[in-house]
Amino acid sequence: MANIVDQKWIKDGAGGRMDEDGIIIFNESTIITFNEVVTDTPDAIASGGFQQGQEHRDNFNLTLSGAIEANPVDESNGSEWRFDLEYTTSAFGQSNTFGNSPPRATVKIGTWTYNQIVESDKENNQALANSAGDPYDPMPEEIIANPVLMITMRQNSAKISRVEDIGSVNDSSISIAGISFPKHTAMLAAYESDPVYDEEGYITFYNTYTIKANFKTSKDGDVIGWKLEMLSQGFNQIVDGIHGEIRVQSPKDPEADPVKYEWVPVAQPQMLDENGKATTDPAAADYKTYLVHNETSFSSFGLPSNFPVG
């Protein structure tokens, strides 16, 4: 059996059609380069790792149950083969391979909250300050609420590898149960799998995905979700390309006449602008965003995109 050294996936135009029984048929092609010449089709299919009943790599609702066609890309080069594959799903209301009727996914909606300091009035966008123009101490806080989705699907396996994605955020925009999630706004907060046995002893699994949303916006009004936004501040600054301490004038001898001053390092971190220079103007302060969570493809979970689930 040959080994795979390179593989490229191709989605053709026939993917995703539904027949009259409600069965979705998805066609996909891939080109595989082996480390040696493969001379016959069965050997190529076996070396490519394809077999009937195999789950799709990105969508566990699809099963490789149709044709598996394999042909060399170039008759003179038997190490490169093209495979045309046909995946299908069970029809709605029809029996699956275990003789059970797969129920629709169930969706429970909850909320989670966090506190955030309020810096301006949301009606007129004016800074929160007393009559002397000074900010309140302490500044008030508001409670931010975001949705939590708990989606349960009955599937043929426990998908135990999903535990590796717990704590990861979506690497691209996606719609889940009727909610649009821009990039980095959805987190897989938990994953649970419960086995279910039918009267004939066949086992399936109720797999529950807990999706925790975060639609936080940046100072500039961009949706950053689970990304961190941090104020640039510190004890050093860059002035004329030179990195050095931030210093302020301090009385050297308060009782002397006249008072003498000296330059001393600041005792508290100072705000910095986008060029790294100290500033006392909050409007000029620079904020930076960072992604501290792992990313993963939420489309591979096979979660329902609409609500109610059809």
pLDDT of res. 5: 93
Higher pLDDT, 85 or 75: 85
Alpha carbon distances (Å) from 4 to 36, 48, 56, 80, 209: 9, 7, 18, 10, 33
Task: Determine the Cα angle at 304 with ends 303 and 307, to 5°.
Answer: 145
216 and 110 in a common domain: yes
Is 127 among the domain residues?
yes
54 and 23 in a common domain: yes
Paired strand residues for 116: 142
Q: Side chain identity at 21, as an amino acid letter?
A: D
Q: What is the number of helices (H) and of strands (E) in the chain?
A: 1, 22
d(CA 213, CA 225): 8
pLDDT of res. 103: 56
214 and 143 in a common domain: yes
Estimate to the nearest angstrom the gap between the alpha carbon of 236 and the chain centroid.
Answer: 35
The domain tally of the chain equals: 3
pTM metric for this prediction: 0.61
Is 280 among the domain residues?
yes
Is 95 among the domain residues?
no
138 and 206 in a common domain: yes
User: Which residue range forms the structural domain that includes residue 150?
Assistant: 106-220+294-301
Is 30 among the domain residues?
yes
216 and 237 in a common domain: no
Q: Side chain identity at 221, as an amino acid letter?
A: G
Tokens encoding 108? 């429970």
* Contact call for residues 147 and 215 (beta carbons, < 8 A): no
Taking residues 237-246, what's their average pLDDT? 93
239 and 215 in a common domain: no
* Contact call for residues 62 and 87 (beta carbons, < 8 A): yes
Task: Tell me if residue 7 falls in helix, strand or coil.
Answer: strand
pLDDT of res. 120: 81
Is 265 among the domain residues?
yes
189 and 270 in a common domain: no
pLDDT in tens, 100-122: 444 568 999 999 999 988 888 88
Burial string for 199-236 (b: 16+ CB within 10 Å, else e) reads: eeeeebbbbbbbbbbbbbeeeeeeebbbbeeeebeeee
Task: Tell me if residue 71 falls in helix, strand or coil.
Answer: strand
Give the rounded percent of residues in the chain with a pLDDT score beyond 70.
86
Higher pLDDT, 100 or 171: 171
pLDDT above 60 for 99: no
Q: What is the largest CA-CA distance in the chain?
A: 100
211 and 279 in a common domain: no
276 and 190 in a common domain: no
